[in-house]
Structure 1
Amino acid sequence: MAEAASFADIWVPFCRKHDIEPRNPESYFNLKRDPYKNKVKPDFVKDRRRVKREYDEFKVRTNGLPESIRRRSDAFHAREEIKAMKLQREKNSGAGDLDDNAEAPLEPVKIPKATWMADATHWPGTWINSSSDHSRGDHAGIIQVMLKPPSEEPLMGDEEGKMIDLTDVDIRLPMLVYVSREKRPGYDHNKKAGAMNALVRASAIMSNGPFMLNLDCDHYIYNSQALREGMCFMMDRGGDRICYVQFPQRFEGIDPSDRYANHNTVFFDGNMRALDGLQGPVYVGTGCLFRRIALYGFDPPRAKDRHSGCCGWGRGKKAAAGSEETRALRMGDSDEDLMNMATFPKKFGNSSFLIDSIPVAEFQGRPLADHPSVKNGRPPGALTIPRDLLDASTVAEAISSISCWYEDKTEWGQRVGWIYGSVTEDVVTGYRMHNRGWRSVYCVTKRDAFRGTAPINLTDRLHQVLRWATGSVEIFFSRNNALFASHKMKLLQRLAYLNVGIYPFTSVFLIVYCFLPALSLLSGQFIVKSLNVAFLTYLLVISITLCALAVLEVKWSGIALEEWWRERAVLADRRD
């Protein structure tokens, strides 16, 4: 992380200066197209050559980090052993002065082989040689600020101090924080869902952005303007009722024939577009821009006419004095609102920093009140206030919020944040939001927003499919079954979620269909006693319907017939 932050100091301004796409350096430097196309600045070739050399050196340093850390740790460990042996000799020599006839044997010195940092302190997380309190499932919470929050005003570079000319280029870098939640043997860390909830709490205390991007570790940003396009939905008129903006998944490194249908084109370019016309697409676990306040478990704004805020905070009879942002911080003037605020510690935990950040995030996420039709908006310029600097107390509070005991007796994982209890926590989390009346949006950009890697062999693909099917069965036999959805979820959206939970059971019918011909051969009787007109009519209607669905899927998703047929074949294999 420290090496990446150091390289970002030159890479990010270089991308801004020359409009580099994609912003992933590994992907950019391995592009097969002409890298100089549409580049008109005369110093681009020189800048690119220097940045490429710096990136190669960065990769060499990164690859050598494990060995460097091991050598450093061995050196510090040897020093500690020498100190311990010296203290033991001094202790034994002191005992010998008291009793000349006593010969105390030297006991071997046992010192845990720790992982040391450059500042001669122990790494608080997992050590190379696992030890008590320093293993993958047993370590303290860690938060380290790698890059401090940027200034409010643009910071322009110059010709001096950098390897490239950054005159009139904004050289600010976004805040970068390393977060590792606490893990202890007696606590269930809830895998990805628990990690995401810990990040939500830590980010609320340290930065409190009203919108959050969820991206898996095997994905990267391919289009730097994708977030802006997603924000356009969030900040548009009526966009305050959007809980998340889902982007399609695009993959690299797949063989041209795509024999395992890893692209999922029918799903991402057909089904998800269709859901966009209902209450919105399902959350697929990555490539998603969230509204923070929706993850907190609040209802959308205007869920009831008497509510003016999306958190269920009504507007008091008396207008509060001061600016809009001040009034947002004072929400809870009425008795009902004060009662709601009083329940926040039970719902979100006992962090006062986190609770105080909730109304601020709600206000910052409102659309601009630049038109009479905009309800629950904020005036332009209301956010131009200085941000509090990070201090030790803020970081300490953030570390407390990622402790393994923080979620005890709270609603995290039940009604707040990512939902626990299923291997497909992404689908359940999106379902809970839609069930509260929120809607989502499917954003397909001209240039792929994100790209990632997909399983390249059949074994990994089958493991992935098994995980999805297991999660669907868990959803079907849980309280998250769409049959029990609230009246706030639209009927067709409910059917879509019901299909998510039911589709693994279709494997039973496929197995029956596979065995029926064999049974007919053994018994000498056909599965249908007589081919009458009614049977042939039903068969014709079903065949025409299936063909029509196939034609519509091919047309809407814009894929070739061969690719569609391959996905249908793989889908049948999954159900078997």
Structure 2
Amino acid sequence: MAMTKTTSSDHLLHTTTVQQLRTTINRAHILFHSILISFLLYYRLSRLFNPPIDDDFPSTAWVFMFVSELIISFIWLFTQSFRWRLVLRSVSPERLPGDKALPGVDVFICTADRKKEPTLEVMNTVISAMSLDYPPEKLAVYLSDDGGDRVTMKAMEEAAAFARRWVPFCRKYGIKTRCPEAYFSVFADDDLSIRGAKFQVEEENIKTRYEQFKKCLESGGDDGFCTENVNTISVNGRPPVIRVIHDSRENEDDDNAAKLPLLVYVSREKRPSYPHRFKAGALNTLLRVSGVFTNSPYILVLDCDMYCNDPTSARQAMCFHIDANKSSSLAFVQFPQIFYNVSKNDIYDAQARSAYKTKWQGMDGLRGPLLCGTGFYLKRMALYASPTQEDSFLLQPKVSFGISDKFIASLRGNNGQYIFKKGESSSDELLKEAHFLATCAFEKGTKWGSEIGFSYECLLESTFTGYLLHCKGWTSVYCYPKRPSFLGCTTIDMKDAMVQLRKWTAGLFQIGISKFSPLTYAMSRMSIIQSMCYGYFTFHPLFSLAFLIYGVVPQLCFYKGISLYPKVTDPWFLVFSIVWASSLLQHLYEVVSSGGSLRTWWNEQRIWMVKSVTATLFGCLDVFMKWIGVTGTVFRLTNKVIDKQKLEKYKNGKFDFSGAELFMVPLVMLVTWNIACFMGGVRKMLFEGGFNEMFGQCFLSFFIIALSYPIIGGLVKKNRKERRKKK
């Protein structure tokens, strides 16, 4: 059992456990591996400046190898910051004060295209958010629809109608899985065996209503849904539309079991003459609209396909947010992204094990993890100022926030749940004000997206905003409970995986080479180790360059009989061998210690190589093309529609390359090059000798081919099928 060190808050709302054994092993390995890398780089440099006199020294190839190994060492050094101090946290929500003392929470959900983000899936997320185990009068759910689709708005009305039955049912019987689609599927994990006949009757009634709800949504226009947009779309764009779908004031006199939170539909204005700002713009619009409606001090941001799996997540987050020892500087509580459709043979590394079971825990041991884009509870005021100057933004509020008096009034401490009260005639005025706050022109001349709100500097709006919050002095925590708080659907084919990674790579690399680079901007604003964490994220795309060199130069030299590594009998060969084995064993240790297997380790090694020379490479090219002015910013929405045939392939461990042919071009060329050079090099080695000198390059080519074998096999099968179809 791992040695641990535990600390706790005075009120025992949460505990922090330092993973002492893993931390000690990691630090020992860092020292050991650093010494070996120093020797390796010394070997390269010493031979480069003092080449052997007797040999025809390949100086150009040697320089390429040194650059590649320097890049890999550089990124490896950044990676060690995650391993410096790993912590685990646990919470005790039962120790929280009564419901009346809990702060309000506004839930933000964003959708943009119902063709890629199915309406039923979005509505399940909305219903699960409405079903959170939190006082309904202190909870509000806002959906931003950048598609401006009337189907989505009508679907919200249907979802609210279903929630009037579903939410009381969940509260009455203590249902944990409060996403109806998940509850009535194989993913539900509620123990229903102890429930009686009355429960079974009610459950059957609820199931019947849910099937009717699904048919209504899936039929679209056939059931009275108008498939036109919310408002008339022309070349001039469309005006904003905001509608209160369910007003919780309507059931103030009902018992708590029947109460529902506020539910609001928001479609912001779109005009071709104004920048769209993508998801960051949608979130900032929700910040303003919710500011005049509910103005809750905390915000939960969810992707439209990431439903609430644990209804107690808000209470878990409040264990940190209302702790007096932490709350003054705590900006957000991040929960992991966990996916319900991950296969046991996760060939695409869709679970992102390295991130959520190692890197985030390591950052939590410093000043906290970064924002992941979904599943985080954020302090609203953290988006407006630093922790030491929380009121500085009020000095010239109209310059920073715009000319809305009602919104500025909300900034001055009016955090009471419901700015508009029952019986007041101000609701129409607030709706009018909310429409004004959702216009394109409102942000003109303000500091939205630059100094306040979610940042517009990067397409990865949440990650970059979290980075800026840490630079301002805010902290964060990582909460990884046994029961996943949120569950979503991950990519199950190569195309979607590549599109998603290309977007992330381009966004992160753009930060790395900008004025906000962690190597310059962050060093004076946070600890060196924490800035190294961000340095890893922003510069890891350089792996693509190192991998290309390592996949081309040694193989060419192997084919020509030129040695780039020490002889097997040379003591320096041992240094290279131990460095290689040390890296692989460290990765294997992390995989096994976090619950993975040998197959998990191999899958991660393989997909890491594949991604580095495909999507990561294209992401770097996107940044370069944008830098020289050839292309502009392009937002690529990940497809969230589940294809049953693709899902079956994924579960069987078979790669699906449909639509990803362009991404695969560099990989196919690289593997073909390795096979050709390997065959030619082995032939030369067998007939002319040189095993002692060429073993390193021979083994490198073989290892790359072994990693790529299933992928090449999949591409060959795909080409055969296409030929058969043509015939």
Structure 1 and Structure 2 fold alike (TM over 0.5): yes
| Aligned match of 1:149 | 248
* 1:566 equivalent in alignment to 2:653: no
Which residue of structure 2 lines up, in the alignment, with residue 311 of structure 1?
A: 390
1:343 and 2:430 matched: no
Contact 1:428 1:480 in 2 (8 A): no
* Alpha-carbon distance in 2 for matches of 1:415, 1:567: 38
Structure 1 residues 551 and 154: CA distance shift in structure 2, 3 A: farther
- Does residue 196 in structure 1 map to residue 270 in structure 2? no
* 1:359 CA drift (Å): 3.4
Distance 1:550 1:182, change over 3 A: same
For 2:251 and 2:164, locate their aligned partners in 1 and report how far apart those are by CA, in whole Å. 18
Q: How far apart in 2 are the matches of 1:540 and 1:529?
A: 10
Letter paired with 2:514: S
Q: Name the stretch that deviates more: 272-281 or 421-430.
A: 421-430
Q: 5+ residue gaps in structure 1? A: 74-114, 116-122, 157-168, 304-309, 314-339, 365-382
> In the TM superposition, what is the alpha-carbon distance from 1:151 to its structure 2 partner?
8.0
Task: Give distance in 2, aligned partners of 1:146 and 1:63.
Answer: 20
Secondary structure (helix, strand or coil) at the match of 2:303 reads coil
Q: Corresponding residue for 2:295?
A: 208
Distance in 1 (CA, whole Å) between partners of 2:262 and 2:339 is: 28
Select 1:3's aligned residue among 133, 152, 158.
158
Q: Match of 1:268? A: 356
Cα distance, 1:454 vs structure 2 = 1.2
Q: Aligned pair in 2 of structure 1 residues 180, 533: CA closer, same or farther (>3 Å)?
A: same
CA distance in 2, matches of 1:32, 1:547: 34
Does the 8 Å CA contact 2:293/2:420 hold for their aligned counterparts? Answer: no
When the two structures are aligned, how many residues end up with a matched partner?
Answer: 453
Alignment partner, residue 555 of structure 2: 518
- Which secondary structure state, in structure 2, belongs to the residue aligned with residue 212 of structure 1? strand
> What is the distance in 2 between the residues matched to 1:345 and 1:386?
20
d(CA) in 2 for partners of 1:457 and 1:256?
15
Find the aligned partners of 2:417 and 2:285 in 1 and give their Cα distance: 28
| Cα deviation 1:131-159 (Å, max 9, x = unaligned) | 455xxxx1110110111134897732xxx
Q: Tell me the equivalent position of 1:66.
A: 221
Query: Could you say which residue in structure 2 is the equivalent of 1:37?
Result: 192
Aligned match for 2:544, one of 507, 515, 521: 507
Q: Aligned partners of 2:479 and 2:448: how far apart in 1?
A: 28
Distance 1:222 1:292 in 2: 24
Please give the alpha-carbon distance, in whole angstroms, between the structure 1 residues aligned to 2:294 and 2:160: 18
Say whether the 8 Å CA contact 2:334–2:375 is kept in structure 1. Answer: yes
TM-superposed deviation, 1:32: 5.9
Q: CA deviation at 1:532?
A: 7.7
Alignment RMSD, CA only?
2.5
CA distance in 1, matches of 2:250, 2:221: 34
More displaced 10-residue stretch of structure 1: 249-258 or 430-439: 249-258
Q: Alpha-carbon deviation of 1:561?
A: 2.7
Corresponding position of 1:327: none
Cα offsets for 1:339-374 (capped at 9, x unmatched): x5331111111111121212326xx6xxxxxxxxxx
The separation in 1 between residues aligned to 2:358 and 2:331, in whole angstroms, is: 22
Query: Is the 2:566–2:572 Cα contact (8 Å) retained in structure 1?
Result: no
Q: Which moved more, 1:194-203 or 1:247-256?
A: 247-256
| DSSP-derived class of the 2:261 partner | coil
1:67 deviates by 2.7
Aligned match for 2:564, one of 527, 551, 554: 527
Confirm or deny: 8 A CA contact 2:368 2:477 kept in the other structure.
Answer: yes
Deviates more, 1:558-567 or 1:282-291: 558-567
* Per-residue deviation, residues 27-60 of structure 1 (Å, max 9, x unmatched): 1011366866354455211111111111112222
Which residue of 514, 534, 557 maps to 1:478? 514
Within 2, Cα distance between the matches of 1:475 and 1:260? 26
Residue 386 (structure 1) shift: 8.6
Q: Does 1:21 align with 2:158?
A: no
The alpha-carbon distance between structure 1 residues 344 and 220, as it changes in their structure 2 partners (threshold 3 A), is same
* Number of the residue aligned with 1:239: 326
Which of residues 212, 226, 237 is equivalent to 1:57? 212
Q: Is the Cα contact below 8 Å between 2:187 and 2:340 reproduced in 1?
A: no
Mapped partners of 1:275, 1:152: distance in 2: 44
| Structure 2 CA distance for partners of 1:258 and 1:537, relative to 1, 3 Å | closer
What are the residue-to-residue correspondences of 1:274-285 with 2, within 5 Å? 274-285=362-373
- Closer, same or farther: CA 494–33 of 1 in aligned 2, 3 Å: closer
Secondary structure at the aligned position of 2:442 is classed as: coil
Name the amino acid aligned to 1:271: K
What do the CA deviations read for 1:206-252 (whole angstroms, capped 9, x no partner)?
11011111101111111111121011111112232111111111112
Q: Supply the AA of the counterpart residue of 1:519.
A: L
CA distance in 2: counterparts of 1:152 and 1:385, whole angstroms: 14
Structure of larger gyration radius: 1
Q: State which drifts further: 278-287 or 481-490.
A: 481-490
Report the Cα offset of residue 393 of structure 1. Answer: 1.2
| Structure 1 counterpart SS, 2:473 | coil
Change over 3 Å in CA distance of 1:514–1:181 after alignment to 2: same
CA contact (8 A) 2:565 2:573 kept: no
1:450-469 equivalent positions in 2, closer than 5 A: 450-469=486-505
Residue type of the alignment partner of 1:354: F
Q: 2:361·2:369 contact (CA, 8 Å) conserved in 1?
A: yes
Distance 2:580 2:217 in 1: 58
- Compare 564-573 and 184-193 and name the one that shifted more: 564-573
CA deviations 1:505-558 (Å, max 9, x no partner) are 111111111113322234322013666866235325524542452244125423
Query: 1:463-493: CA deviations, max 9, x gaps?
Result: 1111111112211121221121163312111
Whole-angstrom distance in 2 between the partners of 1:548 and 1:221: 36
SS of match in other structure, 1:513: helix
Q: Distance in 1 between matches of 2:528 and 2:293?
A: 40
Q: Displacement of 1:445 after TM fit?
A: 1.4
| 382, 399, 422: which one aligns with 1:294 | 382
TM-score of the pair, normalised by structure 2: 0.59
Matched, 1:425 2:478: no
Query: CA separation in 1, counterparts of 2:547 and 2:294?
Result: 51
Identity %, equivalent residues: 31
Aligned with 2:258: secondary structure? coil
Q: Name structure 2 gaps, 5 residues minimum.
A: 1-155, 614-727
